[in-house]
Amino acid sequence: MQTRVDTTPALSHREHARALLRVGMPLILSHMAQFAIFMTDALMLGWYSVTALAASTIGGTFFFLTFIVGTGFAQAVTPLVAEAAEQDDEQGVRRATRMGLWLSAIYGTVIMIPFFFAEAILLAIGQEPEVAALAEDYLHIVAFSMIPALMVMTMKSFLAALERTAIILWATIGTALLNVVINYALIFGNWGAPELGIRGAAIASLTITVLTLVILFGYALRETPQYKLLQNIFAPDPDVMKKVFALGWPIGLTALAEGGLFSAATTMMGWLGAVPQAAHGIALQLSGMTFMFHLGLSQAATVRIGRAAARKDVENLKRGALVACGMSAAFGCVTMLIFWTIPSLLVSGFVDTSTPDGAAVVAIGVSLLLVSAMFQVVDGLQAMALGLLRGLQDTRIPMIMAIFSYWLVGLPISLLLGFVVGWEGVGVWLGLVVGLLVAAVLLMRRFWTQTSLWVKA
């Protein structure tokens, strides 16, 4: 299909900001609501027991590490659907979405197998036996949420590319509230329910994931009938599958490179004991919540850049990218100040500070949060750079840059400062700071270089 002639007027910086927020704010808030689900688990399990919190931290990391690789195929759907929609190619929208769902299901089926051997794996990487056993209990249940969770990501990508993001927000808020109710009943045994501890949290996660998929798919069928998502749903489409796969696997490995660094940090904190690992989990929850702003805004930027690229709209592409970067940096500065000024208040809400373990967790958690403040801006900018590059469908070189930054720079520094120099948790987290800084510099340079080359072409 021929690319449409661009007739879009040049937007002002303010108009770009409004357009980004119109698409991005529901995504940002839905990501925050989604993350609130994990934070709720951490809060409730932290009050249940420090061991359960440590187990959910390592178990959740195990799930997340495998999950984020599969989300690459889902995220590949966004620029492909945005491009097809901009060219009024309804069949192209359907084919890209269908193959995203296919690849999500295939990957999810294979990757859930190691979950049933989690205890042995966690023991092999040095986790405490009690923590490893509880983590396996958790993973035996959440394993069954892998396929629906990846399909949820695909549907979110489809809807985001069409700039229909409000439903994503409301579905996530609704299921987040439901998660609190189910957790309260099943973790602690309230309202006559059995006291299941960490298994109760896993059941809640599985339930809300399936429900979210039903809501999003039902909305898509009802509100976007022109795309006929169920048409030929079981029909193979090798050409489009190759395209989604080629764009998606580098996205997945890029996410793995960053997520793997944080997972390695979780493993290293486990070497220091259950209390440091629990503190790490809390700091990670708080840092992750602020990251949701950058993640949602970067996804909106992918859509906006993808549509501008499909129109060959150079001026709006460059100006929109500048606005997105500025918004990300400004938010990062705000969260940096918050983390520096009230770290104790933020950390203490996760545990019972009247107990010795709880007080120790807060002390360590505060020190980690102070380090986290140092990477608030650069973490946002590396995420934004990735979103902008995906709008240009540029994913392979960014993957290499991410692997270099996180695994050849960040991880060695974490090991060096944490265990050779002896700074323990603070040293581990300083390695994260350096890795994210290098990634932000390399990826931003890549985007603006590619934009210049793309414009000349």
CA 333, CA 248: separation in Å to the nearest integer? 31
> Which token pair is 236?
């193979």
Take residue 399 and report the two structure tokens written for it: 């993957």
The whole-number average pLDDT for the span 83-104 is 93
Residue with tokens 């808020």: 173
pLDDT of residue 8: 63
Q: Is pLDDT above 70 for 1?
A: no
Give yes or no for a contact between 428 and 264, defined as CB atoms under 8 angstroms apart. no
Counting residues of the chain whose pLDDT is more than 90, the rounded percentage is: 49
Q: Which residues fall within 8 angstroms of residue 90, CB to CB, at 6 or more apart?
A: 84, 226, 227, 228
Instruction: Answer yes or no: are the C-beta atoms of 350 and 285 closer than 8 Å.
Output: yes
| This model's pTM is above 0.85 | no
301-355 pLDDT tens trace: 999 998 888 888 888 888 999 999 999 999 999 999 999 999 999 998 877 778 8
Q: Residue 337's pLDDT is what?
A: 95
Domain edges within the chain: 13-456
Q: Region 169-186: what's the mean pLDDT?
A: 90
**Mean predicted lDDT score pLDDT of the chain:** 88
- Tokens at 218, concatenated: 């039902």
Give pLDDT tens digits for 36-52: 777 777 778 877 887 88
- Is 5's pLDDT higher than 50? no
Contacts of 222 (CB under 8 A, 6+ apart): none
Band of the pLDDT at 101, cuts 50, 70, 90? very high
The residue-averaged pLDDT of 384-400 equals 94
pLDDT computed for residue 4 by the predictor: 47
Average pLDDT over residues 431-435: 94
